[in-house]
Amino acid sequence: MHLRFDGKVAVVTGAGGGLGRAYAILLASRGAKVVVNDLGGSGQGEGQDQRPAQRVVEEIRKLGGTAVPDFNSVENGQSIIKTAIDNFGKVDIVINNAGILRDRSFAKTSNADWDLVHAVHLKGAFSVTQAAWPYMKKEGYGKIILTSSTAGIYGNFGQSNYSAAKLGLIGFGNTLAIEGERSGIKTNIIVPMAASRLTQGILPPDLFDKLKPECVAPVVAWLCHENCEENGGIFEAAGGVIARYRWQRSKGVSIDPVTPEAIEKAWDAITDMSDAIYPSSNGELSGILIEGITRGTESKQETDSVDDDVDGIRRDVALRHPGTVLKSEVAPRDSILYALSVGVTLGSGENALKFLYENHPDFSALPTFAIVPTQQIMFDVFGGGVPGLKMDFSRVVHGEQYLELLSPTFPTSAQVETRMEIVEILNKGSGALIVVNAECRDAETGDKLAFLQFSLFGIGITDFDAPKTSQVEMYPTLAKPKRSPDSVLTFQSSLDQAALYRLNGDTNPLHIDPNMSALAGFKKPILHGLCTMGIVVQQLLSKFCGADPTAFKAVKVRFAGPVLPGQTLETDAWLEDAGRKIQFETRVAETGKPAIKGGWMQLNRAAVKAAKL
């Protein structure tokens, strides 16, 4: 079946000829509505002519497609995207293809030669993409293509300006891929070799004839299709040959003390690429570097089982790690998804809408939404991002959790910086206990948002040296009061509860894959402990605080047993400390077995019974 683009709107810059024309015609032939952008200047960036873009639009229309022209410079990205919005109401695809050449040897390159090439290639891609970004974020979908070059990757005589801009686009694309991931925006980079007005006279005539833009266009079309999950890739396409690039790094050599003479002596080993590695992120590279510094080597052949494809813990190494920092973005759709995943529905009551509708005058995030920005960093921690600590996530379960808000409410829209630090690792005899502290701040203002303490348990991971007890401050659970509860709350979880909750970012296969849960000793995938906590907290907030998130201060729980999706939760709740603290315990109604023990929720003011959420 043909890959179609029906209902999609694409903006193609530099589409008056060559590659851009091929992209626009192919997408339009498969149902996309296309904005054909071209300033119509010369290959050196001079002049302006509306005819190239208009000709391509007419060509598309004659073939039965839908297209409109746009004659703006890519430096005026807002106007280009406005053409898409005014004509089609949205933008799904942006292909940054516009480019010029002003080739000179480096010694003869003028400021104008440098600035104009960068203005079109690099700043132009920035301008158009930034203008499209908010529309894509709102839709939760977007495909962005940036155009690099072999000149950017390898360099080319007479093209210092062009090479620098083209390599800059790779760095730009890498960052867009990271920042857009949570919003459903995927960015990829094409490295095309095709006959065009920019390459005519540079490529040999025989090769020029074989390198048709129509051989590159299908690669770009695939990267723009909704079925393509690729993000952050760099792909070369030339004459029907398609390949992927990746970064390569030698193993490296640790030198102490570092002197020019020591480096000279080790130079052959430093530059030896015979057993290269391929780091794919800053986090992965940081782990490699820190491990090399702390253990005196960067050679994987010289490391122990921590670097093998099995679980491994070296407490001394892991505790020396300075911490991991992750910047992420939270948006209204994230807090709404979280609320849905912990049981808030439109049928819950009049107070539910403020957690589910971004235009509600009191739109708010549930207090436990603060857990969401920390989840990816936890995967980095246990996935090898921290030297001395590597654990199979299928064997990791949540032991205890503490969460404290340091602001009146957690924001529904913000850039969040999360700093994680491993503060303790214990060998409990039946498994490994890892205690992790995390602090969330507003990345723009520096304001503290939340503090969290995770206690995680690696089932059966005991082959490492560590004490059983610790002097590190850990927030305690509390024994339940010796009286009847003040209230009993029930919640019927759905069979899809874990499948929905994992969309918040906790993609541990233990909660979805029967094979993985079986490896951890569970008959079926289990519900996330944090999902259970979120369900109970929103119920308590509703029952005793009128569903007011500003009443919440902190919560602490111990996860005492698994919950299967579809089971019913029963929570006993006691008002203590003149109503400023709610103690609670939760059990599975079908089995009577505990799910949460020793739980407590601290309030900013005395609790009052209120309307149901």
Q: Which sequence positions are flagged as catalytic? A: 162
CB 536 within 8 A of CB 586: yes
Q: What end-to-end distance do the CA atoms of the chain give, in Å? A: 47
| H or E segment and range at residue 531 | helix 529-545
* Cα–Cα distance, 324 to 306 (Å, whole number): 19
**Phi then psi dihedrals of residue 182, to 5 deg:** -65, -20
* Cα–Cα distance, 162 to 114 (Å, whole number): 8
Q: For residue 576, how far is the Cα from the chain centroid?
A: 41
CB 145 within 8 A of CB 188: yes
Q: Enter the DSSP assignment of 395.
A: G
Q: In the beta sheet, which residues pair with residue 69?
A: 36
**DSSP for 27-89?**
HHHTT-EEEEE-----TTS----SHHHHHHHHHHHHTT-EEEEE---TT-HHHHHHHHHHHHS
Tokens of 282: 């800053």
Pairing of strands 185-193, 234-238: parallel
* Cα–Cα distance, 539 to 533 (Å, whole number): 10
CB 333 within 8 A of CB 357: no
> Cβ neighbours of residue 413 under 8 Å, at least 6 residues apart?
330, 331, 332
| DSSP H helices in 213-276 | 217-224, 260-270
Amino acid at position 447, single letter = D
What CA dihedral angle connects 415, 506, 317 and 247, to 10 degrees?
-70
Q: Which of 68, 77, 167 is nearest to 120 (CA)?
A: 77
Q: Which of 426, 435, 520, 509 is nearest to 475 (CA)?
A: 435
Tokens of 613: 């959420």
